[in-house]
Amino acid sequence: MRREEHELLSGLAPGTPMGDLLRRYWTAAVLSRELEADGAPVRVTLLGEDLVAFRDSKGRVGLLDEHCAHRGASLYFGKNMNGGLSCWYHGWKYDVDGKCLDQPNEPPQTRFCDRVKHTAYPCIERNGVVWTYMGPPDKKPEMPALEWLTVPESHVFVSKRLQQCNWLQGMDGDIDGCHLGFLHGHVIEQVPDLNQFRSAKWLIRDLYPVFDPVTIPSGILLSTRRNAAEDTHYYRVNQWFLPGYTTIPLPGDGPQAGHSWVPRDRGQSWVFTFSWHPSRPLTDAERADFEEGKSAVHAELIPGTFVPSHNKANDYADPDAPPANQPWMRIKNFQDQDMSITESMGGLYDRTRESLGSTDKVLIQTRRRLMAAARSVQEGQDPPGLDPDSFRFRPYSAELPRSVTDWREAVGDAIETRPETYRNSV
């Protein structure tokens, strides 16, 4: 990758191509459960901007520039009560729209309050997440009709964690269908009965999968095909959606999974992980596993933080793992394996130093799509992926006869997000 392409992809600030592109979509900001009416404000950095989220007395959510419009004191120390957030320093008070409601240190006749507009981004709450739009107000799109946002809230669990690397560097792993047999291979090999769990067997036996990406307006439908039984192929179909959504096909007919990769700054990202079932509420047992970080996709967190318990400071080691003489042997959870390896590159790896091979072709496509979209915004055009209906796909995996030549035809409508089309055969 050329230096200027690396810099373009790494940009976040307003006025940079990627910064402007990312501000044309909705962004997952915080979890709804982080905010209580008249409770503590929450600091959150998004796209390199320091912000404060709060829930006012009426339950409405505001997302404001962290630094007070007066002289920059942090609104994290503000008083959240009586319908707004008041700066602790001199009492300037803001509502969820950034309107200045009060300036108790100014004589009333100055009416200075009317001339102050604090930066505030509009928010929507949906299925456990506060979403915000940080772009030009007249360009605000509808929310994408991702399945985890359109099913009832009872069907969804969402968690959040802080990842110590660039959002694209982390997201690359979800697009890289080739790594499964390597990075996750030693855990898959330990599955007690691989004949019962057939798909796992195919993942570790065929290390040269065939990728067949299909371009759609909102992103890519990606089929990864592996040799399975003598007369079958094992297909995994997942999606990448603009700008930072991925889906993960999980075997069986249980909940599926997806990520929203949100840039915190150039070297850190917020990872929102969604587990959802397309056609039924999650069970209490499923929810408990997700909450405790026992599933393959939700991290166990240090209590009171969004920092995973297994992290760089402890070599991501599972404390329950048997003693082992090499670090990788002690990293047992799929999610920890993905996080450890993408963080191991450093916060922002210099992409000019990569040597991309044939199995990186889908990753190359996503980067090209992002760069083209960013350039189109700079030229005054709308980016792709603003039509909410273009997100109506879900992940899928299945063993299909080798005679199948067109996977989309064979998969049929199973990847289209109507509840009645949900079927997962492996």
Residues of the shown chain interacting with Fe ion in the complex, contacts defined by CB under 5 A: 338
Smallest distance from the beta carbon of 157 to Fe ion, in angstroms? 20
For residue 162, give both structure tokens. Answer: 């802080």
Smallest distance from the beta carbon of 30 to ligand FES, in angstroms? 22
Residue 24 or residue 236: which is nearer to Fe ion going by CB? Answer: 236
The entry of ligand FES, Fe ion, none that residue 73 binds, CB within 5 to 8 Å by partner kind = ligand FES
The entry of Fe ion, ligand FES, none that residue 87 binds, CB within 5 to 8 Å by partner kind = ligand FES
Residue 132 or residue 366: which is nearer to Fe ion going by CB? Answer: 366
Q: Count Cβ atoms within 10 A of the Cβ of residue 177 and give its class: 0-12 exposed, 13-18 middle, 19 or more buried.
A: buried
Q: Which residues have CB under 8 Å from 243's CB, separation 6+?
A: 21, 22, 25, 370, 373, 385
Q: Tell me which residue has its CB nearest to Fe ion.
A: 338
The entry of ligand FES, Fe ion, none that residue 298 binds, CB within 5 to 8 Å by partner kind = none
Smallest distance from the beta carbon of 285 to Fe ion, in angstroms? 24
The entry of ligand FES, Fe ion, none that residue 338 binds, CB within 5 to 8 Å by partner kind = Fe ion
Smallest distance from the beta carbon of 24 to ligand FES, in angstroms? 31
Smallest distance from the beta carbon of 262 to ligand FES, in angstroms? 28
Smallest distance from the beta carbon of 57 to ligand FES, in angstroms? 20
The entry of ligand FES, Fe ion, none that residue 414 binds, CB within 5 to 8 Å by partner kind = none
Residue 56 or residue 338: which is nearer to Fe ion going by CB? Answer: 338
Residue 151 or residue 178: which is nearer to Fe ion going by CB? Answer: 178
61-65, strands of its sheet edge to edge? 42-46, 49-55, 61-65
Residue 60 or residue 90: which is nearer to ligand FES going by CB? Answer: 90
Smallest distance from the beta carbon of 75 to ligand FES, in angstroms? 8
Find the angle CA(386)-CA(389)-CA(394) to the nearest 5 degrees.
Answer: 115
CA dist., res. 96 & res. 64, Å (int): 8
Smallest distance from the beta carbon of 36 to ligand FES, in angstroms? 23
Provide the binding-site residues for ligand FES, judged by CB under 6 A.
68, 70-71, 73, 87, 89-92
From 382, 414, 314, select the one nearest 140 (Cα to Cα).
Answer: 382
Residue 55 or residue 93: which is nearer to ligand FES going by CB? Answer: 93
From 367, 348, 351, 176, select the one nearest 268 (Cα to Cα).
Answer: 348
With contact defined as beta carbons under 8 Å apart, do 318 and 310 qualify?
A: yes
Residue 73 or residue 216: which is nearer to ligand FES going by CB? Answer: 73
Residue 68 or residue 426: which is nearer to ligand FES going by CB? Answer: 68
The entry of ligand FES, Fe ion, none that residue 89 binds, CB within 5 to 8 Å by partner kind = ligand FES
Residues in the chain: 426
The entry of ligand FES, Fe ion, none that residue 71 binds, CB within 5 to 8 Å by partner kind = ligand FES
